[in-house]
Homo-oligomer: A and B are copies of this chain.
Amino acid sequence: MNCPTIRYRFDPAVIVATLLTGMLVGTVASAGPRNVILIIGDGMDDHQITIARNYLVGAAGKLVLDELPLRSVAQVLTVTDTVPSEVIYVADSANTATSLSTGIVTSRGRLGTTAGSDRDVTNIVELAQAAGLKTGIVATSSVTDATPAAFVAHISRRYCESPAAMVDVAYRGITLADCTPDLASNGGKGSISEQIAASQVDVVLGGGAKHFAPNVAGGDHSVLEAAKKNGFHVITKGSELRSVPADKKLLGVFSESHLPVRLQGEDGRVAEKPKSSFMNQVHRYLGSVTLPEPMRCEANPATAGVPSLEMMTEAALSHLANEPDKGFFLVVESASIDKQSHVRNACGSIGELEQLDEALASALDFAEQYPETLILVTADHGHAAQLVPNESLFSEFGVPVYTPGHLARLVTRDGAVLAINYATNSFKLEEHTGVNVPLYSNAAGQGRVKGMVTQPELFDIMVKYLGLSRALALPTPSQ
């Protein structure tokens, strides 16, 4: 594997001095400035975690995630855009990331803006910057995708990712969004990539080069050029993470769109519909049904040269920690647990959960050196994948019993078959679910993170831990 050497500022002499200073003032805990690392697994509900654990380390094994000392659950809240007092029960990544980044409850598709009234709400990155802290955003998606974007941008619709996609944004001929009110010419902040380019975020790493290629609105240079003019050191190759100037903001975009995922099914297979025999088509209790052939996950060759989430996380931590007197806020997202579940690729989701687990291990290593680091791991919303029996509970009845949806069957390291069901709709893409999501924290969360919190409360916990003033924040809308 092509692993860059990360040069941490973990000087043993500094550590000893820091510890001694801590002891002199009575506690090691107050030794340094405080940091928050928020790790988001997109769509990473308990099914996804159990599926990944079973595949990667076996049913009785433990992920790094499983060893975290504090486990809680986060309540996902969403409202409609037309009547912002009206509840809806299933979220998307835009409104949930906005809850985490700003502490408000908003409607699906919105980033850093209020439901209905479309007001901008200050996010934790802006609060941290105002307090002199450093900030970072790392994602395996395009950095303009909903989750990372909610930590930097304020815009009415998540699909307005570049200046070329602001008016009548269409996907294969179907109009998905319109951000006319967000155009700079209308007093708005412009597209998501333009807002990133114009930002003061210290580190932004992920995919999405294509959203930085168009010219800025009303200008004759690309968004990437605009980022450079704004002081960003821009890199596009994983190998460039090895040596980045410590005194410049860093923008790394390592693929045109989302980063390729680590794992795929054999021969690119995803979940498939069980196949009915002729008599089974006459009646569902007759004849037989053939389930998809079990398979193993295999490496996706498209990842060659693309940095892992762990490598990006280590580079971001190294960059953020290079001014030891300043604390920081860093958000790290494994984005494609969700995206691969939408397309029924169980192997894809498993590999991206593994990436999250590795990034978490790096964050925990960092927190060993800098104990004033609160690490939170959570998901934004639940997802379609369900771990179902490989052999039905009702096999004794002697009739074919099979899912009406799509099934993937994976041979695990236990040597057993893990069956994963996708059956939330008849469309090409599966739905999110509205289940409460897992929330974990390291020891720094003790006494701060209770058994259940809402996503906006998670924002409050981070802001309070970093000692940030919320004076900058706009009043939150009624929830």
Using a CB–CB distance below 8 Å, which chain A residues touch chain B?
Answer: 45-47, 49-50, 54, 58-60, 62, 66-73, 75, 77-78, 86-90, 92, 108, 174-176, 284, 382, 384, 386-394, 396-405, 412, 414-416, 418-419, 421, 423-427, 429, 431-436, 438, 440, 450-452, 454, 479
Q: How far apart sit A479 and B59, CA to CA, in the bound complex (Å)?
A: 11
List 14 A–B pairs whose Cβ atoms lie within 8 Å, in order of A's numbering.
Answer: A46-B46, A47-B435, A73-B438, A88-B390, A88-B391, A89-B419, A174-B398, A384-B386, A387-B435, A393-B431, A394-B427, A394-B429, A401-B425, A404-B404
6 closest A-B pairs (Cβ-Cβ)? A71-B451, A423-B423, A387-B434, A404-B404, A90-B389, A87-B414
Chain B residue at minimal CB-CB distance from A422: B423
- State whether A424 touches B403 (Cβ < 8 A): yes
Q: For A75, A87, A425, which residue has the most chain B Cβ atoms within 10 angstroms?
A: A425
With a cutoff of 8 Å between Cβ atoms, the chain B residues found around residue A62 in the complex are 452
With a cutoff of 8 Å between Cβ atoms, the chain B residues found around residue A59 in the complex are 75, 77-78, 87, 89
Given contacts A424-B386, A431-B388, A433-B387, contact A88 B416 (CB under 8 A): yes
Given contacts A92-B393, A451-B440, contact A386 B387 (CB under 8 A): no
Q: Given contacts A47-B435, A60-B87, A440-B451, list 11 more A-B pairs with CB under 8 A.
A: A59-B78, A59-B87, A68-B451, A88-B390, A88-B391, A92-B393, A386-B386, A389-B432, A392-B425, A394-B429, A421-B424
Q: How far apart sit A430 and B175, CA to CA, in the bound complex (Å)?
A: 38
Q: How far apart sit A72 and B452, CA to CA, in the bound complex (Å)?
A: 11
With a cutoff of 8 Å between Cβ atoms, the chain B residues found around residue A424 in the complex are 386, 388, 403, 421, 423
Given contacts A396-B175, A423-B424, A424-B423, contact A436 B46 (CB under 8 A): yes
Q: How far apart sit A176 and B394, CA to CA, in the bound complex (Å)?
A: 10
With a cutoff of 8 Å between Cβ atoms, the chain B residues found around residue A431 in the complex are 388-389, 392-394
- State whether B49 touches A454 (Cβ < 8 A): no
With a cutoff of 8 Å between Cβ atoms, the chain B residues found around residue A47 in the complex are 382, 433, 435
Given contacts A46-B45, A403-B423, A416-B88, contact A396 B174 (CB under 8 A): yes
- State whether B89 touches A77 (Cβ < 8 A): no
- State whether B66 touches A416 (Cβ < 8 A): no
Given contacts A87-B414, A88-B391, A424-B403, contact A46 B73 (CB under 8 A): yes
Given contacts A403-B426, A424-B421, A434-B387, contact A397 B68 (CB under 8 A): no
Q: How far apart sit A70 and B450, CA to CA, in the bound complex (Å)?
A: 7
Chain B residue at minimal CB-CB distance from A289: B426
Q: How far apart sit A49 and B431, CA to CA, in the bound complex (Å)?
A: 19
- State whether B50 touches A436 (Cβ < 8 A): yes
With a cutoff of 8 Å between Cβ atoms, the chain B residues found around residue A71 in the complex are 71-73, 451-452
Q: How far is the CB of A57 from chain B (nearest CB, A)?
A: 11
- State whether B70 touches A451 (Cβ < 8 A): yes
Q: For A391, A392, A451, which residue has the most chain B Cβ atoms within 10 angstroms?
A: A451
- State whether B403 touches A176 (Cβ < 8 A): no
Chain B residue at minimal CB-CB distance from A60: B77
Q: For A175, A390, A423, which residue has the most chain B Cβ atoms within 10 angstroms?
A: A423
Q: How far is the CB of A375 from chain B (nearest CB, A)?
A: 13
- State whether A387 touches B452 (Cβ < 8 A): no
With a cutoff of 8 Å between Cβ atoms, the chain B residues found around residue A70 in the complex are 451
With a cutoff of 8 Å between Cβ atoms, the chain B residues found around residue A382 in the complex are 46-47, 387
Q: How far apart sit A127 and B439, CA to CA, in the bound complex (Å)?
A: 36
Q: How far is the CB of A331 from chain B (nearest CB, A)?
A: 22
- State whether B46 touches A418 (Cβ < 8 A): no
